[in-house]
Amino acid sequence: MKILYFDCFAGISGDMTVGALLDLGVPLSFLTEELARLPISLSGYTLSAEETSRRGIRAAKFSVRVTEDQPHRHYSDIAGLIERSTLAAKVKEQAGQIFLRLAEAEAKVHGVELSRVHFHEVGALDSIIDIVGTALCLQYLGIKELYASALPLGSGYVETAHGRLPVPAPATAELLRGMPVHGELGAGERVTPTGAAILAALCSGFGAPPSFTVTEVGNGAGDRDFPDTPNILRVMLGEKHSSLPADEIRVLETHIDDMNPEILGFLMDRIMAAGALDVAFTPLQMKKNRPGVCITILTPPALLDKIARLLLAETSAIGVRHYPATRLKLHRSLEERDTSLGRVRVKVIRDDTALVRIVPEFEECRRIAETRGIPLQDVYRIIERETWEP
């Protein structure tokens, strides 16, 4: 499976994305011909892609030169423009997803209805080309999944149609929800709303790259050149080693040998209620021959600090280790099925090609066992037999 990994060590913007994808081998002529399918005057803009360098590293600089005045557009105008085009269905879908994420962020920031979002810069012609151009390049390269690294927040201020705004811009901050970020770089806008929307709409996972073989590397240059790092978006094209979906989690661990074990059950309930993915207790033999327990917690990266503080508050631990981990997952869905015991909820587990197993929900099985007076293990067997899909 062809995948693309966005190494956003300096950040990401719309023009950097298109530049990096062109650097992977997408012909500018293909982009120009396909963009002509949009119901926009061809005399209103010209495209260029030139080789440049940022702090000594070669990269492609993609630019849109607007030659005619363009109207400010609402989200409904842009959605209609994409839908009326003769672009491929997948390109329409991806471009529409990106603009929808942008519109949702802008609507929340400004407190307006989705259809009335006034995009200003984002609705300008060059941004429409950046977004539709990204979808076109992904189609040309045959990309099936996208992944991205953690993103630099940047700092300072940026001038916009709404005036001077903090970095990251309010819409960008909304789009960054659920993404790993860091503050290791200096001042400047490192992630634009368009760049954040591309990742928010299309990425399957963030953080460390999945296991894959790199076949090509492309570099897309931004407009500015920062003193702390080359202003380049690096994209890596390759073949994924597994077709199973993957995501990044954090593993927290601490060892306890001086606490009332009755508290552990309460701790597990609180940790799970706070959003952890799983909690496990492993017996240990610790120093001075004391019996102890290793508390291991799996959590989404965004909840790392919250879960760690809760663990330290509810136990005698004075420190907690944490490290990233990538997990491969089977596809799971909670569905309702008709059985001789009534309508029940089951967990349906599949890989890419076939059903793996159907797992009855414990609470459903217990309810049926208690109300019908049937042994619990018999309830499990009946549901598994009658819901299996040959």
Tokens of 156: 């300072």
pLDDT at 158: 81
pLDDT at 251: 97
Concatenate the DSSP letters of all residues of 300-366 into one string: -GGGHHHHHHHHHHHSS-S--EEEEEEEE--EEEEEEEEETTEEEEEEEEE-SSSEEEEEE-HHHHH
- Sign of the CA dihedral running 350, 353, 356, 360: positive
Mapping DSSP to helix (H, G, I), strand (E, B) and coil, where does residue 196 land? helix
The whole-angstrom distance between residue 205's C-alpha and the CA centroid of its chain comes to 5
pLDDT at 41: 81
Instruction: Fill in the DSSP letter of residue 261.
Output: T
pLDDT at 111: 87
The CA–CA distances, whole Å, from 226 to 190, 230, 232, 300, 320 equal 10, 6, 10, 32, 36
Please report the domains of the chain, with CATH numbers, ordered by start residue: 2-240 (no CATH), 252-318 (3.30.70.1380), 331-387 (3.10.20.300)
pLDDT at 390: 57
Q: Taking the C-alpha atoms of 208, 211, 217 and 223 in order, what is their torsion angle to the nearest 10 degrees?
A: -20
Location of structure tokens 């989705």: 114
The whole-angstrom distance between residue 338's C-alpha and the CA centroid of its chain comes to 35
pLDDT at 282: 97
Q: pLDDT tens digits for 72-114?
A: 788 888 999 999 999 999 999 999 999 999 999 989 988 888 8
pTM: 0.69
- What are the residue ranges in the chain where pLDDT is below 50? 122
Residue 29 CA to residue 372 CA, distance in Å, equals 70
